[in-house]
Structure 1
Amino acid sequence: MHHRLDNKVFLETSRNVPKFLMLCSLRHALRGTDQFKNNAAGIIVCLVDKEWIWHAKSAATVMMTGGRDRSYYDDFRRPVYIIGESLRRTAGKGVEDFTVFRPEHQVIYLATALEGVRHSLQLAADVIVEVNAPTAKHVIAARRVLGLGQIDMPLAEAIARQPAEILIGLTARKSLEGLDLAGLEKPVSTADRSPKLSDLPGYGPARNWVGAIKQDVADWREGRLPWSDVDRGILLVGPPGTGKTLFATALANELGFDLVSTSVGAWQGSNKGYLGDMLAAMSASFADATSRRGAVLLVDELDAIGDRSTMRGDHAFYEGNVIGRFLDLTTHALEKPGTIIVGATNYGHLIDNAIQRSGRLEKHVYLDLPEEEERAEILAYHVNHSLSATDLRQVTDNLRLATPADLERLARAAKRVARIRQGVVSIQDVKASLPAKIPLPETVVHRICVHEVGHALMTMASGMADVINIRVESHMIEGEPVQDGGRVHYQMRNTALPVDKDLLARIRIMLGGTAAEEVVFGGRSIGAGGFEGSDLDQATRLAYRLVGSYGLGKWLRYQVSADRVDGSFLPTPEMRAEVDNILAREYRATKDLLTKEKTRLMRLAAELVVDRQMTIDKI
């Protein structure tokens, strides 16, 4: 390592302001090391802020080579690397693809955060130092060697607190006379970061948490609260289109943090998708977030990372390494001041329990479809409040399955209609932008009414609800594969500690619709199945929980957690047979009861065909 540079190299370096500033910072960080003082061989890992890292590479190369164009060593390796940069242009491999070596000379590895450095390299390193951004003294020194006007310490300190681009520009500016020192102390203006989470409607389940973390971050910035006391990890679970990605973006804006957005799919698709590629991509995302001193790291598709409790076959080694590395990176990242991790998934039950435990993604929020009032507020927001939420209820109350993404798409279409006619968005524009609706034939409406009344009668027979509301649709939306033709609403009692007969009654309620169709029409439609959340899906899952988790089947046995009954759960043939028997038995019981109530079933269905909605109570 070269302590002193010859005149030519020093002159060349001093003319490059960012290189000179980082040379000063590197020397300051390394001056206490044996490698700097005695030129001892060894591995040096330098942690540098992301906006300075490429300037640090130029400066480190000058220190290591003395400014020579080529520097030869016994093992023919370069003296300075940035973690993740290609080592050999022909190989195209990153630094972490190579075995850590013990050099006969010195080598410097630059990284934006320790989390991005492979564990073996951390262990092998002789020195790990944090290289701070240039100081006020470095700014004064740079201006002196450039022959520019001298500045006092308060101004130099104000300049040193600026982002790299501004710091470099002001340091190289010929004259700083008239520069507003107070203006430098103000936050640097950025592009509009809206929307903030507080600006957005919806997200009711997360509101309290967001308000608390916003106050905690403010207290942390003022030094009143250690980062360890701030909630830093949250898992968002919900169906597609419920605004999980927008939540992370708006949260970052609310806190004044950067957003680092990635997904497990992006990690898996890195390079050739080998284990090393996957781990390197994952480490790079975490390193990017922790280097920013204030970032929200969004990890989408988190369920794809795997679950060690369900690992089978040849992929167990791969998935085990991926989950282990993710846990390690998450733990270290959440300890880094200013880093918040948001995981997002459609399937929370597929995620390893260790990821969701306290100290990692400990806050769990389920984002369901918005309720009636929320739908109107979301649409009003996306049409820039040119229409009130109250006015929009006449539209949104009929969009019961609409996601926030659907409502945003509707708003874009309505604004396009308004632009074409060169006006402000009106309620007519919104109605004109609704998807085309196709009237349902009366025979289909009649079958839907029979189906829903079947659910209602089985609910009333269970004794678990006092008031039941039914509503059916007269139209279907063109092009939508899954639609809600009708719905039964009721408030169920005795949910705190259900017994076996309560669970079996729930299965009969779920099977009531398709059983009613068979009783009245002599056959069944596909309306009870076909998608997750359907009647058959819910009945089957509940039966598996009853047998394999709750110990309420033939045997007093626990085989799987109740929330793990999903596509990745592989039941034994014995368990499948018992579940089939339960479903068949309860379906027969449901048909028998509805056959006895056939007259009432047909009468109520006929009334529902006419009115399209109905309330049934105990009286």
Structure 2
Amino acid sequence: MPIKQSGKRLRVPWRKKPDENDLPVTLPVFMAYCAVARSLRSWNRIGTKPIVTLATTDDFYFPVFAEAARFFASQIWEPQRFHGNVLEWTDKNFRHEAEALRDERAILFASPSYEIKDDDRLLSDAVVPLEPRTVRHAEAALRRAGLPITRESIELLLTEPWSRLSRAFQDRRDPLQAIQRLRSLPIPLPVREPERHRPPPATGPTLSDMHGFGGLIEWGYDLAKDIADFRAGIIQWRDVDNGVLISGPPGVGKTMFASALANSCAVPLIYGSASRWQEAGALDEHLKALRASFVEAREKAPSILFIDEIDVLGNRGETDRNSAYMRALITAVLQLLDGFERREGVVVLGACNHPDLLDSAMKRPGRLDRHIAVPLPDAASRRSILKFHSGVTMCSADFEMFDLATEGLTGADIERLVREAKRAARRQSQSLNSDLIVSHLPPVIKLPEAYMHSLAVHEAGHAVVSFEVGHSKVSAIKISRYQIQGETRELGYVEYDSSAPQRRTRSFYESAIATCLGGIAAELEVFGSFSDGAAGAGAADLNRATDLATALEGSLGMGHTLMVGSSEQGEFSNLRLYLPELRRQVHDILEEQLSRARSIISQQRPAMDALVDRLLDAAELAGDEVREIISRHRRSAVSLAKPPRRAGM
């Protein structure tokens, strides 16, 4: 039988012995040839007609690898059919494509700075990574040149730049002499990356420095991870949450958050503002300024485009004399956010004070489809904001005054407070400290012990009654030791955990009313009267209890009749005013539940007194401690807390 030959040549080039027909190649060219042959192993057959792109790394020098690729073609492919189509991809590849298609064979190198396009992949039969030089390549090159294989020679061939190897090893020069010349020269320093290519170091705050932003911080960390994954090629841009609307009162720190987000994501921040765009002039100039911000963001992508005061744009439903102007502007923004002009690599962060004024089309999916509201900072957040701006850590006593005096303030207000304290420190030639910060707070007075005792009795009464009627779990209880001079504000409160769903029957509402009246009941039992703080304001205890009783009898169908009425809380006062029978029924419910609450306080007086003592000592108790104190001191009793059964329960 005839012997069928596979047509393969030797796949491992360093095992092939040189013969007199081999092309003259230098030692570095042969080492590069080993890397090329290893990468093109699948095409190491006579008669194949491939067009292959080799994707290179930083360890690449085209003159050496081009000569190595030609040597590979002369050894493997038919030389008469190959005209030397060893090329490097550039932005102008028309000649490369024509020559590759004409000869049906080509080896194309893509340098690290060249981005391989879809058209390049269509032309190429394969895009293969170019293998880096290895120890085996260096050993094969030394063996072919007849040089001793030593560790120093291998290290030299693996660490010297290709350009230096190419200049040292020449056809006219003995390889041993080339190695000696390289060893006689100083080791080259690594080429430093140009400064313009390096991302600028992050200046200013990061997300870890931001406090009081709630779920916005978590979203920011998720975005930073998504952008990192996008850069690494793990996800595509459409998987990145790239449009969010944040809203909140002025001064909560929306602009600072944008800066911190950009620093945490390690991307540039482009600032845009509806009012700043409008300063450009007429509509044409206005639109140019708007588009310029988006163009800048795309050029620096991945980036964050922060649009402040985006609610100034309004919506397209307005019909005033400027409506045509604003409709054109809003339409342009919508087109840039989505439409035909895609914004790959650009995260748009819109900020506003009044999100309800924004055109609904801006909040549809694909644009600013996520809305996160930024609340005023709570006490813990205000403390963190103070520490960030001042670097001062207050003691617990100062923190209590600080929490009270800064309630309702924004991050900008606290920053201004610190700035004024720093100015005073400079004037007095001393360092910033806790006393200086406290001195710039609104005037705060310490409450008398007797007044604090009445506060503790009132709040403890709420907690004990709530525990006994089983209305809701207490999650926290607090009283204040200080009051801002000249201001009337809540000085104590009880927080309830209402996360567990409950059936809202008549007994549920009666227990809620009893809990509201628990503070009054405690004051009546201890002092014989209750103070005006339990009534008057809309959220006062007696006001809330009265509205609950009105709803029970007048709008929920759970009273003396199944008939329902208005459920608007603002209408309850009118119902009581014009319906004397309803007013009498509401009075009866309040009297009954107050009596119920007083019975509970009278029976559980030891538990309430223990809770008062602990509250006067600590000023703030967690729900677990409150329940532990009540459970430890409460008395077992026949259910005085259970209301008599009535129709409609």
Q: Report the TM-score when normalising by structure 2.
A: 0.47
Q: Report the TM-score when normalising by structure 1.
A: 0.49
